[in-house]
Structure 1
């Protein structure tokens, strides 16, 4: 007598099933608990820019709250269709600094490499959403070869940043292939990965994925948590898996009106990222000039006030740098207000975190 026992799903099958169970197409929006009026106003925005939300992230949304901060990040809204003068298709100048397809070389010692233009989750505020919608191509080794040849031919490059698209949406085999090709280039030292997978699809962080990325190169994973509600037990477990593999974990958030522009929200996010997930808050980005995102951008002055208060409330290790990625390839520039108020010779006037200005006289030896 033969007994057929159902085998447990493989780890890969689990995360792939969560992608399939979420929103993958515009038509899937019909299954969401929205009114007919809400569904009608989002259709045009959904058609203009890609929609994808894995089930674990979809489950975080409080559908009774029209202003829910998780919903605001991934569910289309009519505000996206309102283009404001000054907004740009390519806000940070990716295309201008692209000498070969799928690569951006803006800074001497590092490059952005785009193995895929597909994401596990499509954020409505993404500064590359125009490109991701129009390109829509996945990974092939042939498509990436000109970029890899370029990296091999530029010995000044020390660091390769996998971005896109989301590189961790690729299969383990593809990640291992990319990693092996990069680590064979002798002048490379570090592999950095920009991803939203630990936030939106934490089950994707498997032992197979970790193994695919381990090799000669140091590995840094830069996550993208924007709100404390994203710090789930599964996200915590995913980060623990990567930490135990020896990966350095950093986080970059985007300052978004109606999502995380309150000091209490940012304080909890930054504290718990470091203390609970072991992820260093790295950057807090001022909103880029992506089209249709004026309704989500704060002013720079509002951002400066928030980070000044964060500095008063949190340990230095929990504080991100508030930066703006300047248009036309100007790079990331800190926006934190200076505490230096003036100088008279070797005596400086510096305002402390308590708001009081003090004199500081330099004492140095003559050599």
Structure 2
């Protein structure tokens, strides 16, 4: 901790000879002095690239801009830079210019599922609302590299209002996720206005904010910001720690302020080759997070965005990591491992198999140790069937959704006669109509 503070003071003096601790902890000072070019990086770190390396790096940042906060820069271990997880997440690599056949500009089809600018409506009861394209730092593994830093994607007040109107006009939407960019990079009063507009929509039950600020710019979590956010409960925040090295005294203080304000905190990490593709690293990360009142929420498989192939691991590596977490650490320290399906299919959980087999009244399972056990099902259980007539149901409940089920839930429904889901291009079914 002391050595990091000394390093940060020295870095602040390099950037601004008159800088004091107060400036270092000023998020606006951090943004004004963000590293945006190779010479600045070399000057501040003392690392120098040869002519060929510099030329390849310059080509990379022409396509995918460079932007590193001094704070995050201070976490890089320059003595082992090429293996450093912080360096790999923030500094460009020529490998980003390798575009594989499977890579896509918009792998999650967020634009295709966008009824109005800024809104992605994929799931029945919730929407993604992109309210900013500004980030404190440009992560090299970002799934929205197509947007970040691009002036064509800056949502103005008129665009924000269109998104709010869409949410207001669709009563099925009960959950709004603010993302970007990073919503916490907006001015306090502007974010306060957006949250107030959403608060005034009766059917919006909860608002979430996705942010990496506690990781890359923790001093942005000011007392004024926290006081403003406290006025908009129920509000949830999901942050994005990928490595235990990112959990520093400064980030812990930012998390403390948010948690003390009554804001539930979650974390969405991304599985990244050469950064955190190790069961022990991930276990340490998740244990550090819960120690700071952050619930590991998702562990994402790296998306098929352009230029990310060098970050992608096999899905089996992710399953191996979960296998080393379940039973080996607290259950609330185990995230759900998901693949965000290309083409907009949404998040698909991918977990180890624990159910081995089943019979009429018994299931066979295994635990994390490899112990195989059975669970006897009740003989007298009479399943409650649902025909949609809630008034006649003996179970006590109200405010039941009248929407029809979709997907597998539709096949399992007692009130729907669908017996199979058939792809539109199924040849066998096509021959029936051709006959």
Matches within 5 A, 1:323-338: 323-338=338-353
**1:222 matched residue in structure 2:** 238
Structural mapping, 1:202-351, within 5 Å: 202-275=218-291, 277-351=292-366
Q: TM-score, structure 2 length as denominator?
A: 0.79
Cα 1:70/1:332, change in 2 over 3 Å: same
SS at match of 2:55: helix
The answer on whether the counterparts of 2:133 and 2:150 sit within 8 Å (CA) in structure 1 is no
Contact 1:253–1:285 (CA under 8 A) maintained in structure 2? yes
CA separation of 1:343/1:144 partners in 2, compared to 1, >3 Å: closer, same or farther?
A: same
Write the distance in 1 (CA, Å) between the matches of 2:68 and 2:102: 29
1:358 aligns with 2:370: no
Relative to structure 2, which stretch is displaced further, 352-361 or 333-342?
A: 352-361
Query: In terms of mean alpha carbon deviation, does 214-223 or 47-56 score higher?
Result: 214-223
Which one of 14, 17, 21 corresponds to residue 33 of structure 2?
21
Deviations 1:90-120 (A, max 9, x none): 1111011100001111112111111111111
Query: Is the Cα contact below 8 Å between 1:118 and 1:137 reproduced in 2?
Result: no
CA contact (8 A) 2:296 2:333 kept: yes
Which residue of the other structure, out of 136, 139, 143, is the alignment partner of 1:120? 136
CA contact (8 A) 1:26 1:47 kept: no
Q: What is the count of residue pairs matched by the alignment?
A: 360
Q: Which runs of 5+ in 2 are unaligned?
A: 1-19, 383-435
- Give the aligned partner of residue 187 of structure 1: 203
- 1:183/1:215 contact within 8 Å kept: no
Q: Of the candidates 42, 48, 61, which is equivalent to residue 35 of structure 1? A: 48
Q: Which residue of 2 aligns with 1:60?
A: 75
Cα pair 2:75 2:86 within 8 Å, conserved: yes
Moved more, 139-148 or 310-319: 139-148
Backbone CA RMSD of aligned residues: 2.1
Aligned-residue offset at 1:12: 11
Which of 322-331 and 28-37 deviates more?
A: 28-37
Give the Å deviation of 1:13: 8.3
Deviation at 1:85, TM superposition (A): 1.4
Is 1:178 the equivalent of 2:194?
A: yes
Residues 297, 255 of structure 1: CA spacing in aligned structure 2 closer, same or farther, 3 A cutoff?
same
Deviation, structure 1 residue 327:
0.8
> Do the aligned partners of 1:113 and 1:160 also contact (CA within 8 Å) in 2?
yes
Equivalent pair of 1:26/1:46 in contact (CA under 8 Å): no
Gaps of 5+ in 1: 1-7
Q: 1:67 Cα deviation (Å)? A: 1.5
Superposed CA deviations along residues 108-138 of structure 1, whole A, max 9, x for unmatched, are 2111111111111111111110122545544
1:359, CA displacement in angstroms?
2.4
**Which range moved further: 30-39 or 353-362?**
30-39
1:140 aligns to what? 156
**What's the CA shift for 1:143?**
2.4
Q: Which has the larger radius of gyration?
A: 2
Give 3-state SS (helix, strand or coil) of 1:96's partner: coil
- Specify whether residues 9 and 266 from structure 1 end up closer, same or farther in structure 2 by C-alpha distance, changes over 3 A only: closer
Moved more, 98-107 or 311-320: 311-320
Does residue 51 (structure 1) correspond to residue 66 (structure 2)? The answer is: yes
Structure 2 residue 125 is matched with structure 1 residue 109: yes
Tell me, what secondary structure is at the counterpart of 2:253? helix
Aligned residue for 1:165?
A: 181
Deviation at 1:30, TM superposition (A): 4.8
Contact 1:11 1:206 in 2 (8 A): no
The range that moved more, 207-216 or 257-266, is 207-216
Tell me the residue number matched to 1:95: 111
Higher relative contact order (CA 8 A, sep 6+): 1
Equivalent-residue separation in structure 1 for 2:144 and 2:157 (angstroms): 22
Tell me if the contact between 1:188 and 1:217 (Cα under 8 Å) persists in the aligned partners.
no
Deviations 1:207-230 (A, max 9, x none): 211222233541100000000010
TM-score (norm 1): 0.93
